A and B are shown apart, each in its own frame.
Chain A
Amino acid sequence: MAAFTYAPAIVLLPFVSFLVALFAGDRMPKGGALAGIAATGGSLLLSIWVALTVAGGETFNEFVYTWTASVEALQLRFGLLLDPLSALMLLIVCLISFLVHIFSLGYMNDEGETGLPRYYAGLGLFTASMLGFVVANNLLMAFMFFELVGLCSYLLIGFWFRDDGPPSAAKKAFLVTRFGDYFFLIGVVGIFATFGTGLFAPITEGGEVVAESFPMLAEHAVIDGETAGIAMLETVGMGPQAWFTVLGLLVLGGVIGKSAQFPLHTWLPDAMEGPTPVSALIHAATMVAAGVYLVARMYGFYAISPTALAVIALIGGFTALFAATMGLVKQEIKQVLAYSTISQYGYMMLALGSGGYIAAVFHLTTHAVFKALLFLGAGSVIIAMHHNENMWDMGGLKQRMPVTYWTFLAGSLALAGIVPFAGFWSKDEVLYEALIHGFGTEGGLGTAYLVAYAMGLLAVFFTGFYTFRMVYLTFHGDARSDTARDPEPVHWNVKGPLTVLGILATTVGFINMAPVKKLTGAEIDFLHKWLNGPEEGGWPALLSTDLHHYEELLHEVPHVDPAYPLGGETGTLLVSAAVSLGLALAGVLVARSLYAGADPVEHTDKLGGLKTLLMHNYYQDEYQVWLATGVTYPLARVMNKFDQGVVDGVVNGVSSVSLFGGSRIRRIQSGVVSNYATLLTLGLVLLLAAFGIMGGWF
């Protein structure tokens, strides 16, 4: 329990390192890096301690600080919710942040970058915000940290602000995510107005529930019909499920923006203008995970709304395919990884939408590890190539950078989903869950799942292809430029994190090898047990954020059930695994046939017009710019005219009445005393006459 008392320090330590780097970074030997490393290391140790405590069955859900304490419904209080999901996420964020800090020593300090205090301050603030978001126990606090995380992303993408690209990319990232966050804010307000609370899980004191959570209230409203306390439903005139779907979709706006799903994905490739460690931390493993984490956190609220689930699944499946096709033709190594990130988060959304809660969290974990690994590996390559990112100038780095090569290969195998690397187990589980729920659920929802599954499955082929295209072009063959022939060596502060992540990418899949469990019956699905909790009592009874509860909800409300049409459970499992593995291997082999060899050719030219379409990202960027300049701007001009003409005109008109009236009436003051006396007398006469008539003097 002591771990929970120190839990706020997990968020505060990186914040302190932010302050230290900001104010004292100039005077520190490595520009504030050591403060950041110490802080994230400390947070990592505390997170491990918290995770061990949670593993023992303890959870924590209390308020620790009150910001405003005026009206009950509008209170902003900070609280911590430490249950297995948040403990797991804490570990991921702290570990990746710690490794990125060490990597930054090699990428930024050793390369002689300037402005390092600003960089480490940004990293520290980001880590603190992300950790705050992860442990948030109510929606308002989560929203606040969500925005902070976006701010840090802006600051860090635009780190090299004196060039043209980074500030523009930072602005784009901020604006696109802000657009999504607008809907999120409306959703938050809606949830507060509807339920009066934003808690994710109920707070109990001594066995009594003192504060109810909104997923529980929503569940009671939909399943038990307890809509009496929710006045909002009469105001909007909708049934509970319809209104909760609206709220869920509004919050989803923020999720789509932050997790770079279609249509708000356009910012992520541009965000690659920032330093590579920033891309690894923020745009691969943590900030984009915030959206998916939020849905997982609020899963009890989404599970009662079939429409929202269908939307999530379809968006996820579509994005997975859509981004994978765009990654096929990119020439810069970081761009390929960016589109890969968008695609993989599509898989997680697909899993969440189709009822595969475990699969989504599992893929989140493995993806964080191997994508960070791939980005750091790309960073190592970029250092070696003197910041030339074009893969067509690389080649033959395999012999010259062995550590980087082998770890990058481990990450690529994980990404492509080749057994026994981590990505295989998680991606396979995602697709399996989508498949069985697609067959088992009736009506439109089931069809939606199957469509999304098909898109996700097709994307597996493309994933394998573009991943290994990247590997072959970068590391294999002959060196295609002088820089590649003589790359700059990288030091231990680059190779160390790569090695750690490489080992993790290979082994982290073993935390939930569900297929092996199903085939052999061995109890090795640790993640499943972790998120399920004890069958009776314990933290699931307190918080209701466990897998068992979600599965019950999914069964009861949207009737999301599994079905095993291809020869029972084992048969379906094996077929699904074989298909996805087969497609992945097919993609790898096609890439090998096209790009392996001493001197690969740019085969993408053969696609012709399709290549132009893909290179231009299906013109999504142009479309969004047109929305801003062609639609929003004229509308804003009209509004401005209205404001200045009508509103201001009325105000000015009122004042002009006063001015005009005054300028006329003041002429009574002629300065001639006799006139004043005349006016006085006339007034007196009138007054006397009036009083006389009224008072009957005459």
Chain B
Amino acid sequence: MTTKPELQTEGSFVAGLAAVALFVVLGAVFIGVSFPTPAGFGEGAAITKSLGAALFDIAPSAIMDEGETAVPGEGFLVVFEIIDIVLVAALVGAVMLARREVAGQSVTLGVETKEDEEMAVAADGGPGGDDS
């Protein structure tokens, strides 16, 4: 009968007290603060429609219904582009990190070679870990 490796999931909860203390401090500050009335976006602000108009480069007034005002949303365009670039970079980086070198070739996920089992390269200590 095999026993699957058990992860010790019980952390040492003493460290968590620091997080609790932080919440206490933040809460104490936030309860005492008073903000002015939120400005909001006004009645009938059609945020989503404005964003769509900006994306498709059409005048917002062309797609507004009765009683809906446009909201300036050109800032979102920059965000979309940058998100695009960052996510591509992250994807490539993740794939590169996950590669393994086997006899000079790079091995990506999904390709299994018989050296996989021996290739538990450990920087310090072998399989089973070496606790210091």
Could you tell me the distance between the alpha carbons of A554 and B110 in the complex, rounded to whole angstroms?
116
Chain A proximity mask over B21-35: 1 for CB below 8 Å, otherwise 0: 110011011001100
Evaluate whether A689 and B25 lie within 8 angstroms (CB atoms) in the complex, with A671-B132, A698-B32 already known: yes
* Contact present for A684 and B22 (CB under 8 Å): yes
Q: Is B121 an interface residue (CB 8 A)?
A: no
| A19-27, A71-79, A458-466, A674-682 - the one binding chain B | A674-682
Q: Is B19 an interface residue (CB 8 A)?
A: yes
Q: Is B39 an interface residue (CB 8 A)?
A: no
- B22 nearest in chain A by CB position: A685
Taking a contact as CB atoms closer than 8 A, the residue among B11, B21, B32, B33 that contacts A685 in the complex is B21
Q: Which chain B positions have C-beta within 8 A of A698?
A: 28-29, 32
B112 CB to nearest chain A CB (Å): 31
Could you tell me the distance between the alpha carbons of A671 and B123 in the complex, rounded to whole angstroms?
15
Q: Is A697 an interface residue (CB 8 A)?
A: yes
Q: Is B18 an interface residue (CB 8 A)?
A: yes
- B31 nearest in chain A by CB position: A698
* Contact present for B132 and A678 (CB under 8 Å): no
Q: Is A692 an interface residue (CB 8 A)?
A: yes
A666 CB to nearest chain B CB (Å): 14
- A688 nearest in chain B by CB position: B25
Q: Which chain A positions have C-beta within 8 A of B29?
A: 688, 692, 697-698
Evaluate whether A685 and B18 lie within 8 angstroms (CB atoms) in the complex, with A692-B29, A697-B32, A698-B32 already known: yes
Give how many A-B residue pairs fall within 8 Å (CB-CB).
Answer: 32
- A678 nearest in chain B by CB position: B15
- A697 nearest in chain B by CB position: B29
The residue in B18, B28, B32, B33 that gathers the most chain A C-beta atoms within 10 A of its C-beta is B18
- B25 nearest in chain A by CB position: A688
* Contact present for B28 and A682 (CB under 8 Å): no
Taking a contact as CB atoms closer than 8 A, the residue among B11, B19, B28, B33 that contacts A681 in the complex is B19
Could you tell me the distance between the alpha carbons of A206 and B88 in the complex, rounded to whole angstroms?
94
Could you tell me the distance between the alpha carbons of A348 and B11 in the complex, rounded to whole angstroms?
101
Q: Which chain B positions have C-beta within 8 A of A671?
A: 132
Q: Which chain B positions have C-beta within 8 A of A682?
A: 18, 21
A309 CB to nearest chain B CB (Å): 85
A673 CB to nearest chain B CB (Å): 11
Chain A proximity mask over B90-116: 1 for CB below 8 Å, otherwise 0: 000000000000000000000000000
Q: Which chain A positions have C-beta within 8 A of B15?
A: 674-675, 677-678
- For chain B, which range describes its interface: under 10, 10 to 19, 20 to 34, or 35 or more residues? 10 to 19
A142 CB to nearest chain B CB (Å): 73
Q: Main SS of the interface on chain A? A: helix
Could you tell me the distance between the alpha carbons of A335 and B28 in the complex, rounded to whole angstroms?
104
Within B8-56, which residues are at the interface with A (CB < 8 Å)?
Answer: 11, 15, 18-19, 21-22, 25-26, 28-29, 32-33
Could you tell me the distance between the alpha carbons of A15 and B19 in the complex, rounded to whole angstroms?
87
Q: Which chain B positions have C-beta within 8 A of A675?
A: 15
Could you tell me the distance between the alpha carbons of A697 and B21 in the complex, rounded to whole angstroms?
17
B9 CB to nearest chain A CB (Å): 13
Q: Which chain A positions have C-beta within 8 A of B32?
A: 697-698
Q: Which chain A positions have C-beta within 8 A of B33?
A: 697
Could you tell me the distance between the alpha carbons of A689 and B19 in the complex, rounded to whole angstroms?
14
B113 CB to nearest chain A CB (Å): 32
Could you tell me the distance between the alpha carbons of A689 and B25 in the complex, rounded to whole angstroms?
7
A44 CB to nearest chain B CB (Å): 87
B21 CB to nearest chain A CB (Å): 5
Chain B proximity mask over A358-384: 1 for CB below 8 Å, otherwise 0: 000000000000000000000000000
Could you tell me the distance between the alpha carbons of A677 and B15 in the complex, rounded to whole angstroms?
9
A339 CB to nearest chain B CB (Å): 83
Could you tell me the distance between the alpha carbons of A682 and B28 in the complex, rounded to whole angstroms?
17
- A671 nearest in chain B by CB position: B132
* Contact present for B25 and A678 (CB under 8 Å): no
Could you tell me the distance between the alpha carbons of A675 and B132 in the complex, rounded to whole angstroms?
15
* Contact present for A678 and B28 (CB under 8 Å): no
Could you tell me the distance between the alpha carbons of A681 and B33 in the complex, rounded to whole angstroms?
23
* Contact present for B25 and A685 (CB under 8 Å): yes
Q: Which chain B positions have C-beta within 8 A of A677?
A: 15
Could you tell me the distance between the alpha carbons of A388 and B21 in the complex, rounded to whole angstroms?
103
- B23 nearest in chain A by CB position: A685
B116 CB to nearest chain A CB (Å): 28
Q: Which chain A positions have C-beta within 8 A of B26?
A: 688
Could you tell me the distance between the alpha carbons of A677 and B33 in the complex, rounded to whole angstroms?
28
Could you tell me the distance between the alpha carbons of A681 and B21 in the complex, rounded to whole angstroms?
9
* Contact present for A681 and B25 (CB under 8 Å): no
Q: Which chain B positions have C-beta within 8 A of A681?
A: 18-19, 21-22
Could you tell me the distance between the alpha carbons of A685 and B25 in the complex, rounded to whole angstroms?
7
B50 CB to nearest chain A CB (Å): 37
Q: Which chain A positions have C-beta within 8 A of B18?
A: 678, 681-682, 685
Could you tell me the distance between the alpha carbons of A681 and B11 in the complex, rounded to whole angstroms?
17
The residue in B25, B26, B29, B32 that gathers the most chain A C-beta atoms within 10 A of its C-beta is B25
Q: Which chain B positions have C-beta within 8 A of A674?
A: 11, 15
Chain B proximity mask over A656-696: 1 for CB below 8 Å, otherwise 0: 00000000000000010011011001101100110010000
Could you tell me the distance between the alpha carbons of A688 and B25 in the complex, rounded to whole angstroms?
8
Could you tell me the distance between the alpha carbons of A55 and B129 in the complex, rounded to whole angstroms?
104
B48 CB to nearest chain A CB (Å): 37
Could you tell me the distance between the alpha carbons of A689 and B18 in the complex, rounded to whole angstroms?
13
Could you tell me the distance between the alpha carbons of A678 and B18 in the complex, rounded to whole angstroms?
7
Q: Which chain A positions have C-beta within 8 A of B25?
A: 685, 688-689, 692
A671 CB to nearest chain B CB (Å): 7
- B32 nearest in chain A by CB position: A698
Q: Which chain A positions have C-beta within 8 A of B21?
A: 681-682, 685
A421 CB to nearest chain B CB (Å): 100
A80 CB to nearest chain B CB (Å): 80
Q: Which chain B positions have C-beta within 8 A of A688?
A: 22, 25-26, 29
A55 CB to nearest chain B CB (Å): 96
Q: Which chain A positions have C-beta within 8 A of B19?
A: 681
Q: Which chain B positions have C-beta within 8 A of A678?
A: 15, 18
Could you tell me the distance between the alpha carbons of A692 and B25 in the complex, rounded to whole angstroms?
9
Chain A proximity mask over B68-80: 1 for CB below 8 Å, otherwise 0: 0000000000000
Chain B interface (Cβ < 8 Å from any Cβ of A): 11, 15, 18-19, 21-22, 25-26, 28-29, 32-33, 132
Q: Show 25 residue pairs from A and B whose CB-CB distance is below 8 angstroms, ordered by the A residue.
A: A671-B132, A674-B11, A675-B15, A677-B15, A678-B15, A678-B18, A681-B19, A681-B22, A682-B21, A684-B22, A685-B18, A685-B21, A685-B22, A685-B25, A688-B25, A688-B26, A692-B25, A692-B28, A692-B29, A697-B29, A697-B32, A697-B33, A698-B28, A698-B29, A698-B32
Q: Given A685-B21, A689-B25, A698-B32, 5 more contacts at CB 8 Å?
A: A677-B15, A681-B18, A681-B22, A685-B25, A688-B29
9 closest Cβ pairs, A-B complex? A681-B18, A678-B15, A685-B21, A697-B29, A685-B22, A682-B18, A688-B25, A678-B18, A689-B25
